[in-house]
Homo-oligomer: A and B are copies of this chain.
Amino acid sequence: MRDKYRMVFSGSGGQGIITAAVIISEAAVLYENLNAVQTQSYGPAARGGSSRSDVIISKSEIFFPKVIQPNTLICLTQAAYNEFSGIVRPGGILITDSKYVSIEKKVDADQIEIPIYDTVKKEIGNPVVFNICLLGVIIKIKQIVKKESIIKVMEQRIPAGFLNMNIDAIELGMSMTSAIKNEI
Interfacial residues, chain A to chain B (CB-CB below 8 A): 13-14, 18, 22, 25-26, 28-30, 33, 35-44, 46-47, 61-62, 65-66, 156
**In the complex, which residues of chain B have a beta carbon less than 8 angstroms from the beta carbon of A41?**
36-37, 62, 65
> Once the chains bind, are A14 and B156 in contact (CB under 8 Å)?
yes
Residue of B nearest to A18 (CB): B22
Are A29 and B42 within 8 A (Cβ)?
yes
The residue in chain B whose Cβ has the minimal distance to the Cβ of A14 is: B156
Residue ID in chain B nearest A13 by CB atoms: B156
Given known A-B contacts A18-B22, A65-B65, A65-B66, A29 and B43 have beta carbons under 8 A apart: yes
Chain B residues near A30 (CB-CB < 8 A): 42, 46-47
